[in-house]
A and B are shown apart, each in its own frame.
Chain A
């Protein structure tokens, strides 16, 4: 599967539920966009401390590659064998968001877009690659993700905790709704 084939599915403009290996959610929609078949390492050089992978790559696979260079992921993910990096990104965590450097996505209009990059420091344009962490597959189809990795000696003790929503306000909900309309104006991603 290549990115154009994913784009074609989006352009058919029927509501789609994006899934990886289906490890986190129970999907019950007939129309799914299965990203688990879009997998593999796009780029990795240990001295850059940066890896770029396709969304369907499993966490276990990534960790295995990193281990060969004595490096680790700076965020914790459960069910590593089945969870894909795209799935982990869609669910999101503060640590995963910290590690993200860039993404290649397809928006609801079927446009292939790149945000962020493959370097540690980058303040050109809004930080869309970190914004979309936690978007639950409802704003864009995430195709490729670049993220920071760490030498083993700097491994952060793993912690999983529940997200909180300390302050829910109408204004905040409105901003979120507006952003949904920016990325997926026709409501393709459900």
Chain B
């Protein structure tokens, strides 16, 4: 292809990857059910090389798919046919750390955890902690507005980014800052999934490490009592650093795998982590233990080792469940917290209806569900059943006032579900926003926002709240 030849001519040979075999490692991201090889991959080493890629792709009308570490779970970095993948993982320098101002200036390919490691000597860390944090890049985090266990207290990526530099489709450098007067262009770029610009530098906010971190585990005989306890914790004025919930299936799977010391007979389990200064943690711990009076088991981690062991079960929950099934499909819906018990009950019904097992492990504190649907891709029709079950769960999330994705992004995976969450007019605005930044339509086209045509075909155009599905659920 001419574009490949032109890239090879204009750029150092070693950064241009092409050919069927060589591009194979880039054919998918963390959502491996979709695969597509690009025409070429450029692993840029500086901004001028990115500008060259943009320029050549414009000349050849070739789409650009920007990629960090490729750990995304929604196919945001899936190559398009006839596209060039622009890999930014080589741009991995931490350019400056200011411990006084608590900021770090980093290139987009710096790994999430590498920031925390680099600033640990100043007793600081970068708070957002997606589970892929050892591999995922900060550029990818901004593109997806990534979350993690600590979002409830410390916010999403959008709350922890102070400024970015980006390149427009015309190769112009633009700086967007948190304190900019006027509209929030920086906030808009967070979660824009590579459709609006190419991020070349990120300044992040650093957080002081807390004086004390206290983990408490509680097992419950009843899912509803456990879910209600989540609301009661917040109602009591506590914002835990992490508040995670697991159902019985997930508890068993995690215990088999990690021997974390979870109560196998419990129907549901909470891991609640408090952090802050010694005095406030002690006060909150007293309140928390009172709220856990309805629990069947309570364990307060007394040593750092015990804390890490208890977390290990939760952090290994996905692979633990993965051992029990050839394939699983991870969802990412969010709901208002007070619907937790109702929605979990519904998911149990869906699971029985589709005859597919579902494990629930999730960020209960911010209502972010991660149901894992277990299926076997080698069984005819199982993939379709898993997807249909997933769609029912996401619709349910929207119907109770939540969202189809809390932290994984839309990518290619949730295009259909977007039709359920937004009206045609709202989708129209999204498409126009893309045009406002990228008139050429070459930046990651076809991702994140479904075409109106697609939604019409699907026949699932969002109906406004005057028509409420699941009328049996109490609404406020």
Contacts and interface: CB of A to CB of B under 8 A. Distances in A.
**Mutual binders A and B:** yes
A119 interface: yes
Given A119-B335, A136-B182, 12 more contacts: A48-B234, A114-B423, A119-B401, A125-B410, A125-B426, A126-B430, A127-B192, A135-B182, A163-B179, A163-B181, A169-B174, A175-B174
A133 B237 contact: no
Interface string A95-134: 0011000000001000101110111111111111011111
Interface string B329-351: 00000111110000000000000
Contacts of A126: 188, 191-192, 430, 433, 449
- Secondary structure of the A side of the interface? mixed
Contact of A49 (B151, B232, B234, B363): B234
A46 B231 CA distance: 9
Contacts of B335: 119
A105 to B, nearest CB: 10
A29 B471 CA distance: 47
B441 interface: no
20 contacts: A46-B234, A49-B234, A49-B239, A92-B183, A114-B426, A124-B404, A124-B414, A124-B417, A125-B418, A127-B187, A128-B429, A134-B183, A164-B177, A169-B175, A170-B172, A171-B168, A171-B170, A175-B168, A176-B182, A179-B436
A172 interface: yes
Interface in A147-187: 150-154, 161, 163-167, 169-172, 175-176, 178-179, 181-183
Interface string B171-208: 01111111111111101101110000000000000000
A119 B184 contact: no
A123 B184 contact: no
Contact of B426 (A115, A120, A165, A178): A115
A124 B447 CA distance: 12
Contacts, number: 210
A142 interface: no
Given A92-B184, A124-B418, A152 B406 contact: no
Query: Which of B187, B280, B476 is packed against the most chain A CB atoms within 10 Å?
Result: B187
B156 A182 contact: no
Query: Which of A43, A126, A166, A182 is packed against the most chain B CB atoms within 10 Å?
Result: A126
B183 A120 contact: no
Contacts of B187: 97, 127, 130-131, 133
B422 interface: yes
A139 interface: yes
A97 B184 contact: yes
Nearest to B475: A43
B183 A176 contact: yes
A25 to B, nearest CB: 15
A131 B186 CA distance: 8
B183 A135 contact: yes
Contact of A119 (B402, B414, B437, B448): B402
Interface residues of B, number: 76
A91 B190 CA distance: 21
A178 B256 CA distance: 56
A3 to B, nearest CB: 12
A134 B181 contact: yes
B368 A121 contact: yes
B15 interface: no
Query: Which of B184, B232, B239, B280 is packed against the most chain A CB atoms within 10 Å?
Result: B184
B180 A165 contact: yes
A164 B186 CA distance: 14
A121 B332 CA distance: 10
B214 interface: no
A111 B425 contact: yes
B119 to A, nearest CB: 22
Query: Which of A98, A122, A150 is packed against the most chain B CB atoms within 10 Å?
Result: A122
Interface string B419-437: 0011101100110110111
B89 interface: no
Contacts of B60: none
A123 to B, nearest CB: 5
A132 B183 contact: yes
Contact of B235 (A46, A50, A94, A170): A46
Interface string A38-80: 0000010111111000000000000000000010000000000
A120 B180 CA distance: 24
B30 interface: no
Contacts of A122: 334, 402-403, 405-406
A92 B155 CA distance: 19
A18 B394 CA distance: 37
A119 B237 contact: no
B476 to A, nearest CB: 6
Contacts of B337: 47-48
Contacts of B188: 126-128, 130-131
Contact of A182 (B158, B173, B429): B429
